[in-house]
Each structure stands twice: as structure tokens, then as C-alpha cells.
Structure 1
């Protein structure tokens, strides 16, 4: 069975029995590379699917058979002299190297799985921590607080709800405070003017007053000044606008206070939802993540990089062993006999084909000659029939013996037509 995997011809090996051990070993090498390829496919599928499953046996066996037949083809069709073998084996060796890289990578990832998986877990945890810190810095628990970071593009969670209401309330309170200060100042000045006019009309003797009671000129002037100030300062209108602003502020504070009560909980829920979309540290590690992690780990660790490449080269050499064994073995007695047998088989095939062609050509020539003779015989028969017709139409004065002897003459002519040369009638 192992010699069959090496593509050996048992008929040729019976003539050189010492070569059997060699091809048993070569078949074992072919089987070993196929088994390594199957193990590599099993590990690759388990890393892609996140675990092992019985259904993975089907693609594993198929891949193992593909590699087995490919290596069998590589070593079974190389015969002849050393330079011919070299020209045939070097391209096959390059193909084996490429195939070895494909087979070696899953095994390398499996051997260094501990360091690779730990690197992936650390990287995932670092990403989670960085994203959480960013979301916390960009979303303070109190709506009135300013975010601690400026680069918060895409990290704001509730910016369009509570903060908008707080900003509007803050603007209304600022406007109300300004209007309240203005109304207070105008009201105080109007009260002084009105009190002075009232005192003058009542006859108070304070400073700047005449002390005369009644509606005198000074009383009328002070009263007009108080009324003019009331009109020019728009005191009544400003007081009405202040009451409207205070009403709006009071109406907004109630719902806004309710929304602010669960603002921190909403922020926490939003942060948790954002973080849940990122891969968890304990989640299965895929094949691409393993390859990227291996590259990152080996980039900073020269010892690990050297170890991975040595192991990878070892697996590539294992996959190239069938071709290398065939190349290093040189030209053996079996190779010479197999090549000689192949040449003899080609010669026999060519001779058999030549003889078959010649026989076919001879049959065609013979058939052509028969066709020619048949046509000549048909023409002779037509001539004889024409003469017989002429003899039957002659005068009755002819002697009877001519007509009686004619049939015998005709039979002699017909009998001798095949013996007569083609040029005679």
C-alpha cells in the first residue's frame, strides 16, 4: 500500500526487489505529509468556527486526499536522466513550498496559541477601557457640566434631549435676570419721582419742594415728570414681559427636573450599549485575529519571531520531503528500468499503430481494386448483351446452327472474361 502511494510499478520492482524498501519509505513520506495537511486543515477550521465539530472531518479528509494525490503525482512521474529529473523536480519543489506555507500557518498558530490568545484578550480589554473612558469623558452625569474632552465626535449620547432643555432654561433665566434688574431700577426711579410729586402737592417742606399745598406749578411739573418717565421707560410693559418669562421658567423646570433625575441612568445604559457592540475579551478568537495577533507579537519579540519562522520552515520542509527525497535519491535501477519500459511501451504502441494503419490502407486499396474489376465486368456484360440483341435481329436466311451455337460461345466468353487481361476484349 505504501509503494502504491509512491506510484511504484510492482512489475518493475519484481525485477529489482532491493528497491522495494526505498519506495516503501517514499510512500510513507507521502502519507505523512498528507496527515500533516489534514491536521492543519482541522486546526484551521476549528479556529474559524470557534471550536471542533464532527462535521469538520469531511473537509479535513478531502484536503488530506488532495495533498496525498498531489504529492503522489509529484514523485511518481519523474524518471529519466538526472538533468531531466532536475528540470522536472525544481518547479514541483516550488509548488511544494507554496503548499507548505498554506499548510504550515494553521499549525504555527496552534503551537503559539497561548501567547496569541492572551494578546488578543489584552487588546480587546484595552479597546473596551479606552472606549469607556472616552464615553465617560464626553457624557458627564450632570447635564449642565461641560464634557472633559473636545474630540467627542460620535461619542455624545444624550446631547439632543436634556442638555437642549437646560440650555434653553439657562437662556431664559439670564434674560429674566437682566429684565428684572432693569425693571427694579426703573421702578425705584419712578417711585422716587412719584413720591416727590405727591409730597409737593401735599405741601411737604423737604428739600427741593415749595412747602405749599395744592396743585401749583411745581406739583404739576413733578407729576408730569413721573408720568413721562413711566411712558419712556416702558415700565409696565417690561413688568408684564418679566411675569411671562417667569411663568415659562416655572413651566420648564418641572419636566426638566424629571428628565434630569434619570439622566445618569440613561448615560450608563447608553455606554453599556455602545460597549456591548465591541468584542468581549472572553469571546472566541477567529483565524484573522490570530494571524494579526501573531504579527503584532512577533514584531516586538525577536525571540518569538525567530521561533515561529523556524517552526514554519520546518513544516515547509516536511511538506517538501516527497520531492526532496525523490531529488536526493538520484537515478536508481528502478528509474532506469521504468524509463526503459516506458520507451518500449511507446515503441510498441507506435509500431502497433503503424501496422494497424498499413492494414487499413491495404484493405482500402484491395477494395478499390475490386471496385475497378466489378466495373470492367459490368461493361463486358453490357457488350455481350448488345451483341446478343444484334444476333436475334438478323435475317431468317442465316443457317440455324449459328443461333444454336451462340449460347455456348456466350458462355465461353463469360467464363473467359475473368481470365482475359484488362487490355483485351
Structure 2
């Protein structure tokens, strides 16, 4: 079909073929060409301006160096923050990060070739490069200030441990007095059995219980003593009577005996007396423990404080990224020169990481960019012309198809007209023959 006909013959030389060029300089090869290929340079176009090969070779080297520094930064970061990782894993992650940085920088550079890049577009690329540079620069800064950061972290952790121990000592007195009423001591109280204050509290509680039980026992004994006195009075020989020929106690005496016996059982005086004896024995034991607590409690308290202090010291982070970042901030803020050096190193590393895009800012548009831009423009025009030719071919093909359909419709209409006229003539002949036959029959009938 006409729409499949290209603008150029298939056997014609492509645009990338430089045969017959006025500058038949062969394309570059070797390591330099591979470096230029990293940033998307086309050697067949660069052959027109070989003077810029050196520029783009070093441009590719800049991109490669940035990726290498990124891999080094990642390996340093993993080695510092995750020292438990195997070396193979560290190298694998560093290789992946090298590839990611290389791809991003290659895209950032190659996307600026040829066309006239706007300043805001380069600004966005520069911002992306700065963000990438921040991620790459921090681990390197941590390694540069490693000694100072570790010293600052050690001093800070010692101060934290000392403050923690001071709160433990302040919130846990040697006499065991409670500090629950102090809000700052809620997280620093230690539970140690046998403190003098606890034993004093237990002794006071035991004495209070013993006193209450003693009062209750005395009250029961007084009542029981009264009932026993009434029993002795009612059951005395003076109150005996003759019953069945013998002297016997009265019914009132028997009732008094039953009342006193029943009261002894219901009042549980024996149980209370045993409990009172146990409380008195416990009071003596607590008194002995209280006398010895001053000597035994303080070592237990000191041992508990030491244990909690060691746990606090072991729980403090020394290699975490946030801890090291805080240490770097403290080091930079404690000395003016350290702050100045930190800013300079930050800017230096950021400038190095953003150098691929900064190089485009500084170099501006090159002859290679103009040649590539001209090739883009030629390709655009060629594509537009190709589309126009295809459109024209398609339109003519549609015209041919329309004309073919019109001719075919005319032929079919003429055929239908001919068939219609033939059919009418045949019907007329048949009708004429039928009328003649009828006329012959009528005439024969009349003659007969």
C-alpha cells in the first residue's frame, strides 16, 4: 500500500553514517570512549568535533568518580553503623549503591545533551544532585571526625551514666525511706526487701495488730472471767440441793457451766491467744532484723545501684547513625574551627557529588550540543515530513478506494438497470404471447 512507502529508500545511507563527511575522523575507542559512553555521548557525532573529546572524557570520569565515592561512602556507613554485617554483604550493598549513583548521574548528565536546557531544569537536577550528595557526604564526614565523635559520645555517655546513678542514689536513701511522693523519682525507685524503713513499717504494723488483738483478748478474758466467777458462785456447796437422795448442783449451775463453756468456744479465745503469741514472736524477729538491717541493707542497695547503672551503660548507643550525627553536631558546635571545617568539608563533598551537573552549568552549550541539537531538529523535521508523506499517501489511497467503490457502484447500477429492462421485455413478450393465444382461442371458438 502507499502508506507503507518510506520517505527514504531502505538501501539509502542512514543519517548516522558519516561516509563522505568533510571530516572523516574515525570514532574514538578504548577506555576514553567507554567513559564518554557513560554520559551518553555518541562517537559518530563527536567525530565532527574531536576537539571536545577530552572535555567529555573527563566529564565521564567525573561521573565515574562520583559513583566510586558513593560506593566508598556506603561501605564506610555500613562498616560503622552495622559492624555485624559480613564483608560480602557490605561489598554487595556498596556495589548496588555504586550502580544506582552511576545510573542517576549518567541520566542527569545525558539528559542535558543536545537541547537547550532551561536554567530551572538544571536547578532541579542540581537539587537532586545535592540531595544525593548529602547522603554520600555524611558517612565520609563521620569517618573524618571519627576520633572526635567517639570521644564526644564517650563523654556524653559517661555523663548520662553519672546522672542516672546520681538519681538512683538520691531516690533510694540508705535508710530505705520511700520517695514515691517525689515525681522525679518515679522511674528510679528500686525494690529491695529488708530495708530499715520497711522493717520499721512492718514492726509498727505488727505492734499495732498485736495491740489490737491483745485488747480483744483482754476483753474476752474479762467476760470469761466474769462467767467463770458466776459459775463458781452458783455451783458452790452452799447452793447444792438433794436430788434422788444425793446432794447435786442446781439447774442454774448447769446453765452457768454451759454458758461459760459455750462462750469459751464461740469467742475463740484460744485461737486469739495463739495468734497474739505468734505476733509477739514475729515482733521480736523483726526487732532483731531491724537491728541487723543497717549492716545488710546498704550493701544490697549498693549492689542494686551498680547493676542498674551497668544496664544503663550497656543500653547506651555508641555507633548509631543518630548518635554519631548528634556527636558531630556537638563537636562542630563546641569549637569555631571545627564548625568552620565541618562546613567547608560539607560544601566540598557536596560540590564534588554535584559536580556532574555543576560542570554543565560551568561549561554551557558546546559544539557537540549544537550538532546534537541540529540532529534532533533534523530528526524532528524528517519525522514530520515522514508523517506528512504517510498522510498524503493514505489520503490518495483513500481517494483510489473511493473512486474504485464509485466505479463499482456505477457498474452494478448499470447491470441492475439492464437486468430490470430485460426482465420487463421478457414479461411484455410473455404477456403478448398470452394475449395472442387467447385471441386465437376466441377466434377458433367463433368459427366453430
Report the TM-score when normalising by structure 2.
0.65
Per-residue CA shift, 1:313-372, capped at 9, x if unaligned? 100110121122222223322121111111101111111111112212222222122222
**Out of 335, 341, 345, which is 2:369 matched to?**
335
Residue 133 (str. 1) matches residue 204 (str. 2): no
Matches within 5 A, 1:342-353: 342-353=376-387
Is residue 50–residue 285 contact of structure 1 (8 Å, CA) maintained in 2? no
Per-residue CA shift, 1:40-67, capped at 9, x if unaligned? 2222222331355321233322222222
Match of 1:152 in 2: 185
Which residues of structure 1 form unaligned runs of 5+?
178-239, 400-425
Displacement, 1:4? 0.5
**Out of 308, 316, 326, which is 1:274 matched to?**
308
- Looking at structure 2, the residues matched to 280 and 393 of structure 1 have their Cα atoms a distance apart, in angstroms, of 119
Match of 2:440 in 1: none
Which residues of structure 2 form unaligned runs of 5+?
1-33, 212-272, 434-448
- Looking at structure 1, the residues matched to 431 and 161 of structure 2 have their Cα atoms a distance apart, in angstroms, of 138
- Looking at structure 2, the residues matched to 283 and 78 of structure 1 have their Cα atoms a distance apart, in angstroms, of 45
Match of 2:320 in 1: 286
| Gap change, CA 1:385 and 1:168, over 3 Å in 2 | same
Displacement, 1:291? 0.2
Residue 19 (str. 1) matches residue 48 (str. 2): no
- Looking at structure 2, the residues matched to 63 and 245 of structure 1 have their Cα atoms a distance apart, in angstroms, of 76
Match of 1:318 in 2: 352
Match of 2:343 in 1: 309
Residue 57 (str. 1) matches residue 97 (str. 2): no
Displacement, 1:79? 4.4
**Out of 404, 422, 425, which is 1:370 matched to?**
404
Matches within 5 A, 1:21-420: 21-50=54-83, 53=86, 54-79=88-113, 84=117, 86-143=119-176, 152-158=185-191, 162=195, 163-170=197-204, 247=281, 249-253=283-287, 263-264=297-298, 266-280=300-314, 284-395=318-429
Per-residue CA shift, 1:382-424, capped at 9, x if unaligned? 111122223333447999xxxxxxxxxxxxxxxxxxxxxxxxx
Query: Which sits farther off after the overlay, 321-330 or 252-261?
Result: 252-261
Match of 2:224 in 1: none
Query: Which sits farther off after the overlay, 103-112 or 165-174?
Result: 165-174
Query: Which sits farther off after the overlay, 390-399 or 36-45?
Result: 390-399
- Looking at structure 2, the residues matched to 86 and 269 of structure 1 have their Cα atoms a distance apart, in angstroms, of 68
- Looking at structure 2, the residues matched to 302 and 330 of structure 1 have their Cα atoms a distance apart, in angstroms, of 38
- Looking at structure 1, the residues matched to 191 and 120 of structure 2 have their Cα atoms a distance apart, in angstroms, of 72
Match of 2:38 in 1: 5
Matched pairs, number: 334
Is residue 318–residue 324 contact of structure 2 (8 Å, CA) maintained in 1? no
Is residue 122–residue 281 contact of structure 1 (8 Å, CA) maintained in 2? no
3-state secondary structure, aligned to 1:278: helix
3-state secondary structure, aligned to 2:187: coil
| Gap change, CA 1:85 and 1:10, over 3 Å in 2 | farther
| Gap change, CA 1:281 and 1:393, over 3 Å in 2 | closer
- Looking at structure 2, the residues matched to 395 and 349 of structure 1 have their Cα atoms a distance apart, in angstroms, of 68
